[in-house]
A and B are shown apart, each in its own frame.
Chain A
Amino acid sequence: MRVIRHVAVNVFKESVRDKVLYNLVVFAVLLISMSYLIGQLTAGQDMKIIKDLGLASISIFGLLIAIFIGIGLVWKEVERRSIYALLSKPMRRSELVLGKYCGLVLTLLINIAVMTIAFYALLAYINWVIDPAVRLSWPAPAVDPAMLKAIVLIVIELMLVTAIALFFSTFSSPFLSAILTIGIWVIGHFGADLRNFGGVVGSPVAAAVARGLYYVLPNFSAFDVKAQVVHGQAVPLGYVGLTSLYGLTYLALVLVGAVAIFSRRDFK
């Protein structure tokens, strides 16, 4: 655990020094300007749109970090040969992979925590300055704790995306890893469509392939409850718990695969 912790802290330090956290500034500017513009819209609709765009921004910013740092995590070590000195130290290759993963997850968590706090602060400000009559038209309160459920599932989803990016980064180039990770993320958001593909195509082979993909690829659409929380619909805690368990199990399997591949690799 000690080695994993030190590697993780080093990854976090790298992301800070490579100015990854600057995205938080972009997020804050985007959020404030967006809420100003949307404030001009019809009363009652603006809060839903602000919440929707805020949650989507957290998700997209996190996704960009997860994919574009995740794909370079191991590849950069190998390509720049810094891995030679590192692996000669008393560590297992699995510890390096897990340390890298934990470091990026730490970066993501801190990013998302800051974005969430900024988002709630903006909502609280709007709630404070707005006409109380307008508040009555909102389907859910502005500072709604239920949004945390959506954010928890965004975190789990991004942890899974990070694991997939890291998995590809253990054996392929960043470009290919990015394409594959984004591909899986996109397909994973069409889980229900894949399952029902057989009903709309005549070819049994295509239907079987789609069904196979549905079972093998992660079902990312399950993590998306943004619309429900924005519209004030209940998201049961049990659903959040089970979906999180699904995500954590899936990412554990992906990490086992990443470790297995990385442990057998020759670093020529």
Chain B
Amino acid sequence: MDAIRTDALTKHYTVGFWRPRPYLALDGLTLQVGQGEVFGFLGPNGAGKTTTLKLLLQLIYPTSGRAEILGKPVGDTSVKRRIGYLPEQPYFYDYLTAQELLEYFAALFGYAPAERRARAAKLLDEVGIGAERRLQLRKFSKGMLQRVGIAQALINDPEVVFLDEPMSGLDPLGRREIRHLILRLRDRGCTVFFSSHVLADAEALCSRVAILVNGHLATAGKLSDILAFKIRGWELVVSDLTDGALQQAQRQGHVTGTTRLGESRYALELPLTPAPEQILAGLIAQGAQLVTLNPLRDTLEDVFVRQVSATSDLSASLGEGSRRMGPA
């Protein structure tokens, strides 16, 4: 059984007051997320990530298609007992303290008062909220609210947790803590579905990712498959490289990029062909010393930029913008 499954999930909004027309926020999203996976849901602003999360939480209803969580339709109260959700830029009741908010949410799950207190205290410890837990939330900074938001999403030990931009508003230390928290969730078998703009986080945490562009699923799969370990070139670091040797290599088209690291020490980007050994041999013959030679592989950022550009080009070639559905 998949943790999350969507089948041709589609959402149109109506935009415009005088001339209402449908706007395609999500177009036929079909996706499966296995149990225990850390799944990264990526895309530029307005791609439909938050729309998808809201559909999965039934905060909005689909125009067509269906979605299931843990084998049951979304919105089923029994499913809600087993999931957690951190909304984007969360906001909570500012008249409650962090401890009270978590106890309130724990009460909605039916925990006894002592259990509510214990769960709230443990989670606030885990997300790094200390003595501030006795302050009203109106006095919390954005980063602290984000931590409280993460804590409330975990109040019921969820089997599946949805995190919408979990790193948003956090300082580098906070981001590292949340990364560790996500890995701990994974280790205890929790499925984590998170949307993010921060590709480095996705690359560090996710077993699989999906990239959404303009409401369409551009690509989805294992990170290792998407990046495919394709080598697109080589990075060669050499010392004692003379200007003459460098210019000769550049003239021959053997160097696609050059970064000077220090006195006669350079990082050179080499193409796939000819073989790097052949170029290196030429440079060594002119007195250069090898420091390092590493393959250059696609990063998630490269794949992301390529997918977004390709889809944007396609949309542009379709004319008016493929998301506006009504008459222009």
Contact = CB atoms under 8 A, between A and B. Distances in A.
A84 B95 contact: no
Contacts of A80: 91
Given A266-B60, A268-B60, A88 B92 contact: no
Contact of B59 (A6, A10, A87): A87
Interface in B32-64: 54, 57-61
B87 interface: yes
Interface stretch (A11-19, A158-166, A192-200, A225-233): A11-19
A14 B95 contact: yes
A6 B83 contact: no
B89 A2 contact: no
Contacts of A84: 54, 57, 59, 85, 87, 90
Contacts, number: 77
Contacts of A90: 77-78, 80-81, 108-110
A103 to B, nearest CB: 12
Nearest to A79: B91
Interface string A71-100: 000000000111111111111100000000
Nearest 7 pairs of A and B residues by beta carbon: A88-B85, A84-B87, A17-B95, A266-B60, A90-B80, A89-B108, A267-B59
Contacts of B105: 85-86, 89
Given A13-B95, A85-B90, A267-B59, A6 B85 contact: no
Contacts of B96: 10, 13
Interface in B80-132: 80-81, 83-87, 89-93, 95-96, 104-105, 107-110
A3 interface: yes
B152 interface: yes
A175 B149 CA distance: 30
Nearest to A15: B95
Contacts of B110: 2, 90
Contacts of A6: 104, 107-108
B229 interface: no
A91 B93 CA distance: 18
Interface residues of B, number: 34
A50 to B, nearest CB: 36
B85 A85 contact: yes
A210 B101 CA distance: 48
Contact of A81 (B89, B95, B162): B89
Interface of A: 2-3, 6, 10, 13-14, 17-18, 80-92, 264, 266-268
Given A3-B108, A10-B104, A17-B136, 7 more contacts: A2-B110, A6-B108, A10-B93, A18-B95, A81-B91, A84-B54, A88-B83
Contacts of B108: 3, 6, 89-91
28 contacts: A3-B108, A6-B107, A10-B93, A13-B95, A14-B93, A14-B95, A81-B87, A81-B90, A81-B91, A82-B92, A84-B87, A85-B85, A85-B87, A85-B92, A86-B105, A87-B57, A88-B80, A88-B83, A88-B85, A89-B105, A90-B78, A92-B77, A266-B13, A266-B59, A266-B61, A267-B59, A268-B13, A268-B60
Contacts of A3: 108
Contacts of B93: 10, 14, 82
Contacts of A14: 93, 95
A84 B57 CA distance: 9
Contacts of A2: 107, 110
A142 B91 CA distance: 51
Contacts of B162: 88
Contacts of B86: 85
Nearest to A264: B61
A89 B80 contact: yes
A266 B110 CA distance: 27
A93 B84 CA distance: 17
B14 to A, nearest CB: 10
A85 B80 contact: no
A82 B91 contact: yes
Nearest to B158: A88
Interface string B145-169: 0000100110000000010000000
B244 to A, nearest CB: 64
Given A2-B110, A90-B109, A85 B104 contact: no
Nearest to B14: A266
Contact of B152 (A17, A83, A85, A87): A85
Contacts of A92: 77
- Most B Cβ at <10 Å: residue of A90, A91, A264, A268: A90
Contacts of A18: 95
A20 B6 CA distance: 46
A56 B318 CA distance: 67
Contacts of B87: 81, 84-85
Contacts of B59: 83-84, 87-88, 266-267
Contacts of B61: 264, 266
Nearest to B82: A90
Contacts of A87: 57-59
Contacts of B153: 85
A89 B109 contact: yes
B149 to A, nearest CB: 7
Given A90-B109, A91-B108, A85 B149 contact: yes
